[in-house]
Amino acid sequence: MQTEIIFSGFGGQGVLFAGQLLAYAAMDAGYEVTWIPSYGPEMRGGTANCTVIIADEEIGSPLVEHPQAVVAMNLPSLDKYEALVRPGGLVVVNSSIIERPLQRTDVHLVAIPANQIAEELGDRRMTNMALTGGLLANLPILPLEALEKALGEHLPARHQRFLPLNSQALHRGAAYHLAPA
């Protein structure tokens, strides 16, 4: 098994953290993992993305050309990565700010109002966790509990107080399921 995922959005949306958390959770579960971040020179508002590969055997290359899944946190990310998803793959979008339908009919869509979920939880930084929860509910590579465990073990001490909110956001996002292809 080898699963390739791209997380993409604006800097400040927690794109890199979502991918890194998934990588930690997979590594803690005994999988082989790569996590490759990429971001522009701006701290917030510039583009950011990362690739995560999770495998049950050694990973030959960290490069991802046709991921099994893309998590698009904004419209430019969907525009850039939708065409790369392999047929039958998964596209998870933040429907709070992405209003256009997919242009492809050979991939599956999970539309999650992630900004709305985060605002309802009282912290807009939870947007990334809502999308990650939706990803895992529809691409069952790891259980949500593995991400919750990784949060507890890898979240810096100064952010530990956000564990309950992160967990709620994961579960709220996981409630969203595939739309017909």
User: Distance between CA 114 and CA 136 in Å, rounded?
Assistant: 14
**Confidence at residue 61, expressed as pLDDT on a 0 to 100 scale:** 85
Interval 26-55 mean pLDDT: 85
DSSP annotation of 52: E
**Confidence at residue 86, expressed as pLDDT on a 0 to 100 scale:** 96
Interval 33-46 mean pLDDT: 75
| Tens-place pLDDT, residues 86-119 | 999 999 999 999 999 999 999 999 999 999 999 9
What is the residue-wise DSSP string for 131-144?
HHHHHHHHS-SS-H
Q: Cα dist. 116→92, 120, 126 in Å? A: 15, 6, 10
Interval 7-35 mean pLDDT: 92
Alpha-carbon dihedral 127, 77, 181, 142, rounded to 10 degrees: -50
pLDDT band of 47, cuts 50, 70, 90? confident
The rounded mean pLDDT for the chain is 90
| Tens-place pLDDT, residues 151-176 | 888 877 887 788 888 899 999 999 99
**Confidence at residue 21, expressed as pLDDT on a 0 to 100 scale:** 94
One-letter amino acid at 133 equals: G
Residue 166 φ/ψ region, left for φ over 0, alpha for ψ in the -120 to 50 degree band, beta for the rest = alpha
User: Distance between CA 94 and CA 111 in Å, rounded?
Assistant: 6
DSSP annotation of 101: P
Tokens 């950011």 sit at which residue? 48
pLDDT band of 43, cuts 50, 70, 90? low
176 closest CA partner among 92, 99, 116, 119: 92
User: Distance between CA 145 and CA 84 in Å, rounded?
Assistant: 29
**Confidence at residue 119, expressed as pLDDT on a 0 to 100 scale:** 94
pLDDT band of 39, cuts 50, 70, 90? confident
| pTM of the shown model | 0.91
In percent, the amount of the chain with pLDDT more than 90 equals: 71
* Longest CA pairwise span in the chain (Å): 44
User: Distance between CA 80 and CA 82 in Å, rounded?
Assistant: 6
Domains of the chain (ranges; CATH) run 2-174 (3.40.920.10)
Q: What share of the chain is helix, strand, coil (3-state, %, to 5)?
A: 40, 25, 35
**Confidence at residue 150, expressed as pLDDT on a 0 to 100 scale:** 93
**Confidence at residue 72, expressed as pLDDT on a 0 to 100 scale:** 96
